[in-house]
Amino acid sequence: MRSFLIITSLSLFTFATAQKKLTVTKDDQFKTQASTSIQSNYDQYKTMAFQIWDYAEVGYKEVKSSALLQQTLKDNGFNVEAGVAGIPTAFVATYGSGSPVIAILAEFDALPGLSQTNAPEKISAGKDAGHACGHHLFGVASVASGIAIKKLIEEKKFTGTIKVFGCPAEEGGSGKVYLVRAGLFKDVDVAIHWHPGNENGVTMTSALANMSAKFRFRGISAHAAASPERGRSALDGVEAMNNMVNMMREHIPQETRIHYVITNGGKAPNVIPDFAEVYYYVRHPKRDQVQSIFNRVVNTANGAAIGTDTKMEFEMIGGTHDLLLNRTLAEVMQKNLEKTGGVQYTAAEVDFGNKLQATFGFPAPPVANAGIIKPLKIEMDAGGGSTDVGDVSYAVPTVGLRSATWVSGTAAHSWQAVACGGTEIGTKGMMVSAKTMALTAIDLFLHPELIEKAKVEFKQQVGTYQYKALLGDRKPALNYRD
Ligand SMILES: [Zn+2]
């Protein structure tokens, strides 16, 4: 009896090991193929990234950037539906059929101002905008990843659908919210994304829910010295509102972030401005808190208008959810990121990195840290920024990573980030994410049970919440950068 048991468990063990070996071999083979095909097109993807970096088109104006990505996908056999969700530069590129349906998100908008050459010193490139958040790399890596998966589906290595979502205006335009609102993720099983960064790691940091609006005050113009009594200053309205909001900071949850810029404060001191505008962001880790604090900000605007005898109206500009993190998918992605490995620099790139770090004004981690992969964090953090990927994460299980496209210690939204993005330091970091996303998608195509597990986790997180866009039912704010 005893020996029988031993034999049975031994043969079971051998069987299980053999099975495992077989599967691992197939996974590895496909993963090597995907990584190799992405790497073999390095020059093409580098050229594309530099082109979009050079276009530097801001939110909803990314005509050339979006066209380049769409054309590349079309050339590779994708069916591209352009102008989705009422946004001319948004698109969905599809290859394959049936389930699973894996989506890869692509961004491509630049930031106003922040024009910079690819030198390690502050030199304007003489443009209106710059890729200070690396979204030129974002779009290209996602397209590269999608194409690598398409090749495997084409070769019948596995079945299913790969979709690349062209997502405009991440920077304040909430582009993805309209795609979610239009139901474009309804048939998607998992969404994969990434973001440029100054280190390599799977995203285990949430993002702040965010509501933004432009408050417009209208008054009456008059000569500021000769007949001030006839005028009503729209700028007074803005300033009164800002005063009240600044006092309100003492009486709101401390995790709240409120920031504003006066986008129009009049033209000349001797003319009482009849128009003034202030652009506000209200953020908090919790969506419902953002809504209630935002309502109080609206109250200050109404109060300011009454007190200054001006008229006020506001336009919702953006609204994004917090970001749900999926541990199941994060663990899958971590293995693939470790398999892919970090970025290795040439001596010239190390030299560039050292020069750039010298401009920071604070001590930065070693440049060689770009070669390191951060271990997966056990605890999930609340995030400091906001992203419209948050809304996608409420539609489908979502997973993302950051890779080192910027020299260690580089801040996003800085001229240094623009500079890195215009060199192969950016391109190399982009390749890490392109490969990691493809490898992660391969795991999902080959192991549907991972998708099921991710969905169980997703459903627990969303609970009974019925998704509702924080920006309401407004049409895409296509001119929010004007
Ligand atoms: Zn960004």
Q: 2 falls in which pLDDT band (50, 70, 90)?
A: very low
Residues whose Cβ atom is located within 5 A of ion ligand 1:
133
Ligand 1 centroid vs 288 CA: distance in angstroms? 24
Which pLDDT belongs to residue 385? 87
Ligand 1 centroid vs 170 CA: distance in angstroms? 7
For 282-329, what is each residue's pLDDT tens digit? 999 999 999 999 999 999 999 999 999 999 999 999 999 999 999 999
Mean residue pLDDT across the chain: 94
Integer Cα distance of 37 and 31 in angstroms = 10
Ligand 1 centroid vs 257 CA: distance in angstroms? 18
Cross-strand pairs, 279: 214, 261
Whether pLDDT at 379 is above 90: no
Ligand 1 centroid vs 135 CA: distance in angstroms? 6
Q: Which two tokens stand for residue 328?
A: 């199941």
Which pLDDT belongs to residue 26? 86
Strands 111-112 and 209-218: unpaired
**3-class DSSP state for residue 317?**
strand
Which pLDDT belongs to residue 20? 52
Q: Which two tokens stand for residue 436?
A: 């990691």
Ligand 1 centroid vs 134 CA: distance in angstroms? 7
For 199-240, what is each residue's pLDDT tens digit? 999 999 899 999 999 999 999 999 999 999 999 999 999 999
Ligand 1 centroid vs 44 CA: distance in angstroms? 23
Integer Cα distance of 425 and 278 in angstroms = 38
Ligand 1 centroid vs 109 CA: distance in angstroms? 9
Q: How far apart are the first and last CA of the chain?
A: 82
Ligand 1 centroid vs 376 CA: distance in angstroms? 21
Ligand 1 centroid vs 363 CA: distance in angstroms? 24
Whether pLDDT at 4 is above 70: no
Which pLDDT belongs to residue 1? 40
For 130-173, what is each residue's pLDDT tens digit? 999 999 999 999 999 999 999 999 999 999 999 999 999 999 89
Ligand 1 centroid vs 138 CA: distance in angstroms? 9
Kind plus residue range of the DSSP H or E element containing 175? helix 175-181
Cross-strand pairs, 74: none
Determine the distance from the C-alpha atom of residue 163 to the mean position of all C-alpha atoms in its chain, rounded to a whole number: 17
Q: Which two tokens stand for residue 468?
A: 């509702």
Ligand 1 centroid vs 129 CA: distance in angstroms? 14
Which pLDDT belongs to residue 12? 45
Ligand 1 centroid vs 23 CA: distance in angstroms? 37
Ligand 1 centroid vs 62 CA: distance in angstroms? 15
Ligand 1 centroid vs 21 CA: distance in angstroms? 40
CB burial string 227-261: b at 16+ within 10 A, e below? eeeebbbbbbbbbbbbebbeebeeebeeebbbebe
- Nearest Cα residue to 107 out of 174, 54, 190: 174
Ligand 1 centroid vs 362 CA: distance in angstroms? 23
Integer Cα distance of 218 and 277 in angstroms = 9
Integer Cα distance of 343 and 436 in angstroms = 13
Integer Cα distance of 396 and 188 in angstroms = 7
Ligand 1 centroid vs 310 CA: distance in angstroms? 37
Helices 63-75 and 135-154 pack at an angle, to 10 degrees, of: 20
Q: 24 falls in which pLDDT band (50, 70, 90)?
A: low
Q: 62 falls in which pLDDT band (50, 70, 90)?
A: very high
Integer Cα distance of 72 and 281 in angstroms = 36
Ligand 1 centroid vs 113 CA: distance in angstroms? 15
Cα within 13 Å of Cα(112), Cβ side: 10
Which pLDDT belongs to residue 377? 85
Ligand 1 centroid vs 347 CA: distance in angstroms? 28
Ligand 1 centroid vs 471 CA: distance in angstroms? 19
Amino acid sitting at position 159 = T
Ligand 1 centroid vs 172 CA: distance in angstroms? 10
**HEC secondary structure over 187-231:** CCCEEEEEEEECCEEECCECCCEEEEEEEEEECECCECCCCHHHC
Ligand 1 centroid vs 130 CA: distance in angstroms? 12
Ligand 1 centroid vs 420 CA: distance in angstroms? 15
For 85-118, what is each residue's pLDDT tens digit? 999 999 999 999 999 999 999 999 999 999 999 9
CB burial string 348-372: b at 16+ within 10 A, e below? ebbebbeebbeeeeeebeebebbeb
Q: Which two tokens stand for residue 404?
A: 């080192």
For 8-22, what is each residue's pLDDT tens digit? 444 444 444 555 555
Which pLDDT belongs to residue 165? 98
Ligand 1 centroid vs 387 CA: distance in angstroms? 8
- Nearest Cα residue to 78 out of 100, 99, 93: 93
Kind plus residue range of the DSSP H or E element containing 81? strand 79-82
Ligand 1 centroid vs 189 CA: distance in angstroms? 24
